[in-house]
Structure 1
């Protein structure tokens, strides 16, 4: 890209010093050389000031290399060092290139034996844009994965007169788990971890068909034991395309500004909306977030660069996380990059790793193809596909597992921005590198090899010719796979509940003829493999929480999946305290008494609520503690069903009697006057105005309500229950109100006495009692 800084270096530094900001860059909006230039924005994300160090810490040590008096053929004799697993060589000036071959040999910490001399490749990866101005940026070699070592020697053959300043060995020890077993917790994001055929997904983490969200993880991803050796894929790679050109060797040719077409132009421009594949996130490979510097985020991903790390092939896939961790340390501590240079990495078993921070979903600017970093992404296969005839280094062979991952990453990242993986892009170099001058136009395949953008042999003679086949594979993906519905289960929040069986139905946009099969997993165990024409499957679930995953498998091997959490719940809710009928305040009459039916039930999984069928129909939610209803005096039957979300039910029924006890049945103390009015209960009431007048009712029951007539001149009354004063009521109201239950009480079932006493309130001493209502 032809990126021009629209703010000066000083201004950019001021933005970063202020804690972040936006650096405005510009590039042509179309592929035509004469197109107008429009401004685009690249956001600069500052370092996290409170980033926690990883649980498994990385040790980074350096050893200075001084040229010997013998012409520099041997610069550093064999010597003991602190333990390390990756070794690289770096120097102060990133523009300097040491003469001769830089070679190292290492001593195994396990056997004590020294390796043969190994030549380190010159690093062709590098930052541009704002990152190219990082203080402390250094030149360096591709680091070598040596395995656990405790000794090193180095030499520069034929370079004694041209050694750059600050030449040193960079030694990285990725660390071990407690107990020395090695292997960090391989935390994976949804979908499942690869290369196993068994998904290990928490299906609540990612919407079907969507790319996982990076940043703060809010889920509990499944772990893949890193101490278990991941098998090397044995499937036969697809035939190599005959149109691919041989990977050129690294060259020191002068940069060219002429337009270049890197590969033949493919025909399809239809984007492929593929699902981003499973990956080990940064927490999984124990990234050190505390060393990450400012990160730039661009507008889109226009091209995906394919690299190889050239760090060597002698590794076990169970140790891949250590290599990724070591590359981050070497890139940042050794070369001064802002973070690991690659956006993604994949090991020889096809396992994918999140690379530069924030780059799974966002167009994060990497440091992997100088001049072509902004609006590009880079994925590196861990290993060396080039080899070395002189040293006998055997190049890595590509395989189906690697190519499937490369293809799906490419389809997902390019498809997000509506680019086809088999199309081309006409772009400009944003900086001068070993192959192109800044501003040079080049037509690139959307899936391009590193050598297409710089003077390098990367991604090697055994991988570069496979890119046409990978492009074709990227165009053949499972797309649009998503949940349609689940029958036999009820959804609450993001979780489904079923008694025992549920039928999962889905939709997919990939033509049926191109779908090999679907796979149904329950708790990471495959339970069914319906045909590619299937659009539903029924699962039987035991009690408890389960992950149910539907995975679509393309005829070419690519996959997409979605997952849901389903809880099997065959157990009906339990009544915890039964039901009770309590009188409540309100207006009473001979045919309608307000009561509250109290309810209490719980469920072992998820409670849904209550369904009332008697005395009338009502539906209550899960939080309901009671139900207010008016019933006739006499005996009433209450029937209620407690239900859970899965559909289990338990019904309970009680009968309760309500009786209106007239005031005439009370024992009187002092003079009370009978007041007749059809508005009173039973057409009459008792009135008293003198202090100390009392009415006492004796009854058997469990709930009671005192009713009064309230007037503007009504006074106060004291309430006693079983000989103890419990309340004082003021019966004054703005207007006359008959049959008012202003006091209710729930009691233990049995015999009780309730007494009222007139308090003779000054100026309004009258109390009018309308009787007592009792429930058994």
Structure 2
């Protein structure tokens, strides 16, 4: 609001002043008991403000009557021109404004209103109307100048006054306009319902409209996306169709109850949207968000019926809870010519935040919605929200027609006109809104690749891959996601998706997720994906060999294998008497096998891509006792429960030997170890293999002390010869175990 200093001082005094009409006394009438008509309530009520020569007398003045009269007479000659509407009862209304005949003029002075709450005798305090916005339309028959409307809630009484500044004249045709946003049009009369019931029904209907609209939009978008991903029959790789640009979730005109009957002309369209203007409606902040649809209906009716415009002036409105309302009709995705910013309506879009933000900042939810709308409208024409643009004025009170104005692409109404709009507090928030609207997607990262496993910073898969990602930018600020494979667009997903499937050829690929902001800015993240459809290969069957250890009811064995894979092994699972899972780098596993029973070991190797292959081997451990050996030299029988079968042989003479002949793939000599045991010489097929010292501080019987294994089964002879070690010549032999 622009006011001269005298007007500001005058307005500051108003609460302490009493209006007095010269020669007729005060005009203040006694309270009127509100009534409610039984017929349909009108949408619009108008009451003219009448000019009167009045003097302002302080209620605390105590001078004698003659001095007061002389003082009053002197001031009356210099008193500003005034007009008023005396306090009166009305039909119900919720929004009030003041209009005048000339749309190109602005009142020089202060206009105030007060209202009575519906069904009560309670009057509000005087409230100042914002009147510094010149008519923003293209003019035409019936167009009137006006204040910004004020939302007062359900009311049935009004009083208004205007005091001009200095010697300024009062606007011609000055009147109060009262709007009932919930009243039916007169051409479709209907009985009024109780206000409380209307509110409940309205809210329920609005919620149904919103949910239905959102559901239809979501299904339509998903259907278009799924259809776009289908490859035409008889074709190879079809071009990737990008998802439809998402429309911000909003309350449509039908959902908030726009009166399409009062819109007489079709919408007009301009070129690309180069700028988004931010306004406030100046309708006040004392509303509930449940009333927002009613406020928007009231603004539409005020703009059409009071100001004489064809439709609501703003392209979008946002309430303090962040809900977006479709404004002027014609399509939210199109460049609809509005009536919002004098001289700059073309190639522009406007969003008005419902409320008065001269001293109060808009809440975070509303700020996010304004940023989303700005990014949506500007990004559709590849115009950066953080940039500036030079626009030629069509004529405003700040920029004459033909002059170029250099403006931020997200600008405040005051940037083009001499107005307080959108209020100091909201205007101070515009840099943050620009930053949000024009930011690149933030925090984009790979979460995983569906169907693939991660290893060493890479992903491995058999073929199908599903890149999955996260980011910190809210979904509402995103346009779409694209997936590029080796520099080629391979898939795309809507803004709400966080994964997509791609089919990759064998080999190593660079898979890049490209996030596209509504503003057009992008962010990328990449990963190396290796496609390996081939299972690991076993170069030969697993090998089972006897190993050193204790022989009893079972024999100790070792299972070994040799498996290879181009992408590397992830894991190996060995299944025998039990199942053991091992890392991919493991090449052997120790186990036991029951003497005399066939045992099968299956080895399954899995590579990093998830391919698996298996191989198996079956072996039977067989015990040949000392009684089955061919002997040379002197041996004597020894008995102990720790010996296999309870009996073994002991010998001390050098050269005494035991020999066993068998057919198998592995063999182990079984002997006893003590602190005084001597050494033995081992021969395999009469070839010397080495000396085994049986001395051990850990005494024990039935120990496999020497082993040999072969890839294939064959007939072999093992001979064990006592060395006759000095000082400890005795050795105890318990037999030989082999694998058949």
Structure with larger Rg: 2
Which structure is higher in RCO with an 8 Å CA cutoff and minimum separation 6? Answer: 1
TM (norm. structure 2) is 0.46
Greater share of helix: 2
TM (norm. structure 1) is 0.44
